[in-house]
Structure 1
C-alpha cells in the first residue's frame, strides 16, 4: 500500500471506531453468578510464502469444572497492514473464522490485548464485542502509553491494583495477579464494568502464570499451531 492508500484506510477505520464508541457500555449486562464459560483469544503472526500470515486460537475454559473444554483455531493471510491503534481491523477476519468453529459459545471473551485502554477506547476487545455480542475483556502484558501518561505500580501483593486515569477518566487497571510477578494491564471491552472484570480475571489465575488461564493457553496454542504450519511449509 502507498501512503495515500494507508491514509484513506486510516480515515475509514477512525470513522468506524467513532461510530461504534457511543454503543460501548462499561456496565454489566449479566449476573456474575451466571458466568461459566470463558474464552481466551490470541493471534500470532508469521511469514509464509513471502506473505504475512496469522493464526487465531480460542480456548474455552469451564469455571465450574476448572478445565479447558474446547480449542479451535483459524489461519490465513493477513491483508491489513499493521497500523498502531487499529489492530482489530487486522485480526478480526481470523477471529470471526475461529469463533464460527466453536461448539460451546462462551459467556465472556478475554483478548490478549486492550479494550477501553486505547487511544479511541476501541481496542481489539471492545471492537470485537460487536461481532461476538458478548461481554469482553482486554488483558495486555505491556502498557499502552496514551497521552504521555504513565501507570502507577500496584503493591507487591495478590489482587493489588491501581487505576489508569487519563484526562480524569479511568481507562483501565494495573493488576498484580500474583506476588513477585509483573502486573498485567486490564480493561473493559464492552458490557462489563472494571470491578467485575477484575473479579473474573482473578478467578482465572493459577500458580503457573500471571495471565488468566484461557488467555495463557490460547497463547500457547497459537505458537504450537504456527510451528506446525511452518513445519508443513
Structure 2
C-alpha cells in the first residue's frame, strides 16, 4: 500500500491516496455477528513540548460482557501537520505501532473519529481499516459538517437516529444513545453496513455515558497516560 510510513507529502498526494482507497471500501458486513467477540476502542491525546507528541491507547472489551480484557498504549512524536480531512496521516503510524502490542486480537475496531462521514469517505476509521484488515466503525462526539449540510436532530428518545444525507447519499447517522443528551455521529469505517454499525453502538452504550464504552475507556486511558508521559 502507498505511503505506509505516512511521512509528510503534499495535500494533493494525500487526496490521491484517499481517492485510491475509497474505491476499495466495502459497505457490507464481511463477518457474522456471532463471530464478534472482542471489540477495540481507539483514541489519541496530544500535547506539545519541544515537539508535538501524542499517546495512543487501545482498549479491548469482551463484547458479551463489556469487561476490559486488555489495554495497551504507545507514545511518539507527531511529524505530520494537521490538515483538515487528513487526520489518518497524523494518527495511523502511532495507531499501528500500538496495535502491534496487542496479545488479544480484536474482531472489530471503534475509533473516536469519523469513518465514511468525511468529504471523501476516508475518515480515520475507514483509512485505518485497510491496515488493520478488520471491520471498523467511526464514532464522533461532534458533527463534521460536509458541503454545508447540517444534520437533523433525532427525536429525544434512546436509540432515535436521523440519517446524514449529502447529495443523495447516506454518509452516517446522528444517533441519540441516551434521552436528554446530545447525539453522537456514527458512520461505517469499512467491511460493515450502517444498520449493523447502529446496532453494535447501541449495545455498547451504558447508563453512565452516551459514548460507547470502547472509545470512552480509550479516551479515559489517553488522558491518564498523557498526564504520565508529558
> TM range, normalised to the smaller chain?
over 0.9
**Are 2:72 and 1:72 equivalent residues in the alignment?**
yes
Shift of 1:8: 5.6
Aligned partners of 1:209 and 1:124: how far apart in 2?
Answer: 23
Write out the 4+ residue segments of structure 1 that deviate beyond 3 Å after TM superposition.
none
Question: 163-172 vs 9-18, which deviates more?
Answer: 9-18
- Bigger fraction of residues in helix: 1
- Find the residue that maps to 1:23 and give its secondary structure: coil
- Aligned position for 1:166: 166
Q: TM-score, normalised by structure 1?
A: 0.94
- Aligned position for 1:95: 95
Kindly report which structure 2 residues correspond to 1:180-199, keeping only aligned pairs within 5 A, or say none.
Answer: 180-199=180-199
- Aligned position for 1:23: 24
Kindly report which structure 2 residues correspond to 1:44-193, keeping only aligned pairs within 5 A, or say none.
Answer: 44-48=45-49, 50-193=50-193
- Find the residue that maps to 2:189 and give its secondary structure: strand
Deviation digits for residues 141-181 of structure 1, max 9, x if unmatched?
00000001000000010100000000000000000001111
Aligned partners of 1:214 and 1:184: how far apart in 2?
Answer: 14
- Find the residue that maps to 1:53 and give its secondary structure: strand
Q: TM-score, normalised by structure 2?
A: 0.95
- Aligned position for 1:3: none
- Find the residue that maps to 2:34 and give its secondary structure: helix
Shift of 1:9: 1.2
Which ranges of structure 1 fall in alignment gaps of 5 or more residues?
Answer: 1-6
Aligned partners of 1:221 and 1:115: how far apart in 2?
Answer: 22
Which ranges of structure 2 fall in alignment gaps of 5 or more residues?
Answer: 1-7
Shift of 1:52: 0.5
- Aligned position for 1:4: none
Aligned partners of 1:16 and 1:217: how far apart in 2?
Answer: 31
